[in-house]
Amino acid sequence: MPTMRLGIIGLGGAAKQMVPSFLSHPYVAITAAADPRDDARSAFAAEFGARTHATAEALCADREVDVVYIATPHQMHRDHAALAARAGKHIIIEKPMALTLEECGDIIAVAEANGVHLLVGHTHAFDAPILKMRALIREGVIGPVSMINSWNYGNFLYRPRRPEELRTDAGGGIIYNQVPHQVDVARLLGGGMVRSVRSMAWTLDPTRPTEGAHVTFLQFENGSAASLVYSGYDYFDTDEFHYWIGELGEPKRPDCHAASRRALEAMTGTGSEVAAKAGGGFGGGRRLTVPPQNEWNHPHFGVTVVSGPDGDLRQSARGVTHYGRRGAVEHPLDPPRVFPDKSGVIDEMYDAFAGLRPILHDGAWGRATMEVSEAILRSAREGREVGMSHQVPVRD
Ligand SMILES: NC(=O)c1ccc[n+]([C@@H]2O[C@H](COP(=O)([O-])OP(=O)(O)OC[C@H]3O[C@@H](n4cnc5c(N)ncnc54)[C@H](O)[C@@H]3O)[C@@H](O)[C@H]2O)c1
């Protein structure tokens, strides 16, 4: 099998979480990375022996890179994707794909014009239990999907943030950061074709002046519907409803409520939150805590239940549970191959690179998810149902 050489743009928290999955693939080599922060580059070079560059331009000019993983702040995604595509590099782009539908269209066009693969990594739609739920739906285990319900309550708004992450007009808040995961998962399970969106969203803390909660109703073309609920206010935590397993698959302590609020309150000085945010990336002081291997679970994005005439499917601790006519039947999965296990992303890109299968989460798919996410914001602001025009079906 061919080796796929990977370069990373942006050595922050997202890259730190993704690198273990890249390294877990037998035919992927991390050859280079780019970040303007000196300490991030030094730490990365020391850990992986990869070349580092101060700019995205230099990384895209690197001949030892086949695929670029773009993990920079949202507002840079379009430009970095264009640089990569024009240099002939295949692209994995972090969520959200971009900030507007127009930007998404630009990314799709530049990838097509340069003949490169484009994968949009809403990582939770690649979680093994979600892909298993999709496979069980295709097998007809619950019959045609009627309802999809997704609940996620957590601490999103009180994790350390860069200033623009708290400004909706700069791509901050849950609608650009978290809700796209929910939408991508719901679209995957519901067949992809959303007909309309109705939403309400709230900014409940004036010191964090961006949307932190929403409730949304999606109607699909095929007659199914989804309700999506998210709260990032660090009060209730839906991990309680998921066996006290955290988002990355780690065991979680049940006494965590409001801990992120308290940690934030304890920070002093204007730069300390920004420094704490940078501390989660390469060159920062915070290490990714890896539990003992026998405690690894698959990642999840709250509680997701899918229903049909023949039962309900729910992500369980180690797989998917089908609640059917004969009771609950467990469909176990292989344990995670790495922690955190985001390997679905790299597997999908590698398989396209090696010519084994086309990309499922491609540019058109990512734009359709962005269309729904943008409509959630619009529907909440304008108090009306919003119709869709860029939806694409699941191609599996
Ligand atoms: N899929 C997930 O679960 C997940 C998790 C976290 C973040 N993300 C996404 O990843 C992206 C990055 O988020 P983050 O939390 O890692 O942010 P971050 O601030 O921790 O990291 C961004 C990095 O990009 C670097 N950077 C800034 N300008 C650059 C440039 N011009 N060229 C190269 N590097 C540059 C910064 O120095 C920093 O190291 C966002 O799109 C975010 O939504 C996804």
Q: Does residue 81 line the site of ligand 1, with CB under 6 A?
A: no
Mutation choice for ligand 1 from 18, 22, 35, CB with most ligand atoms inside 8 A: 35
Distance 383 CA to ligand 1 centre (A): 32
Closest protein CA for atom 19 of ligand 1: 12
Q: Does residue 41 line the site of ligand 1, with CB under 6 A?
A: no
In a domain, 129, yes or no: yes
- The verdict on 274 and 204 lying in the same domain is yes
In a domain, 302, yes or no: yes
Q: Does residue 9 line the site of ligand 1, with CB under 6 A?
A: yes
In a domain, 32, yes or no: yes
Nearest-atom index, ligand 1, CA of 13: 16
Write the CATH number for 75.
3.40.50.720
Q: Please report how many Cα atoms fall inside a 13 Å half-sphere around the Cα of residue 257, on the Cβ side.
A: 8
- Cβ atoms of 1 and 25 within 8 Å: the answer is no
Closest protein CA for atom 7 of ligand 1: 14
Identify any residues that bridge with 91 across adjacent strands, giving them in sequence order: 68, 118
pLDDT at residue 270, as a whole number: 67
In the block, tokens 């690894």 appear at 296
- The verdict on 94 and 30 lying in the same domain is yes
- The verdict on 101 and 160 lying in the same domain is no
Write the CATH number for 331.
3.30.360.10
Q: What share of the chain is helix, strand, coil (3-state, %, to 5)?
A: 35, 20, 40
In a domain, 396, yes or no: no
Closest protein CA for atom 5 of ligand 1: 14
Q: Does residue 98 line the site of ligand 1, with CB under 6 A?
A: no
Q: Does residue 281 line the site of ligand 1, with CB under 6 A?
A: yes
In a domain, 318, yes or no: yes
- The verdict on 17 and 95 lying in the same domain is yes
- The verdict on 207 and 323 lying in the same domain is yes
Distance 168 CA to ligand 1 centre (A): 17
- The verdict on 379 and 247 lying in the same domain is yes
Whose CA is closest to 41, among 65, 7, 18, 73? 7
pLDDT at residue 287, as a whole number: 86
pLDDT at residue 268, as a whole number: 77
pLDDT at residue 205, as a whole number: 97
- The verdict on 118 and 163 lying in the same domain is no
- The verdict on 96 and 150 lying in the same domain is no
Closest protein CA for atom 36 of ligand 1: 10
Domain that holds residue 84: 4-122+343-361
Distance 19 CA to ligand 1 centre (A): 13
Nearest-atom index, ligand 1, CA of 17: 5
- The verdict on 303 and 154 lying in the same domain is yes
In a domain, 392, yes or no: no
Mutation choice for ligand 1 from 70, 72, 155, 157, CB with most ligand atoms inside 8 A: 72
In a domain, 118, yes or no: yes
Q: Does residue 35 line the site of ligand 1, with CB under 6 A?
A: yes
Nearest-atom index, ligand 1, CA of 281: 20
- CA angle 154–158–159, rounded 5-degree value: 90
In a domain, 352, yes or no: yes
- Cα 194 to Cα 95, 123, 128, distances in angstroms: 19, 20, 23
Q: Does residue 333 line the site of ligand 1, with CB under 6 A?
A: no
Closest protein CA for atom 40 of ligand 1: 73
Quote the number of domains for the chain. Answer: 2
Q: One digit per residue, pLDDT tens: the chain, 396 residues?
A: 999 999 999 999 999 999 999 999 999 999 999 999 999 999 999 999 999 999 999 999 999 999 999 999 999 999 999 999 999 999 999 999 999 999 999 999 999 999 999 999 988 999 999 999 999 999 999 999 999 999 999 999 999 999 999 999 999 999 999 999 999 999 999 999 999 999 999 999 999 999 999 999 999 999 999 999 999 999 999 999 999 999 999 999 999 999 999 999 998 776 899 999 989 999 998 888 999 999 999 999 999 999 999 999 999 989 999 999 999 999 999 999 999 999 999 999 999 999 999 999 999 999 999 999 999 999 999 999 999 999 999 988
- The verdict on 34 and 108 lying in the same domain is yes
- The verdict on 104 and 175 lying in the same domain is no
Whose CA is closest to 331, among 311, 354, 352, 302? 311
- CA angle 222–189–363, rounded 5-degree value: 95
Could you give the CA distance from residue 39 to residue 125 in angstroms, rounded to a whole number?
32
- The verdict on 108 and 165 lying in the same domain is no
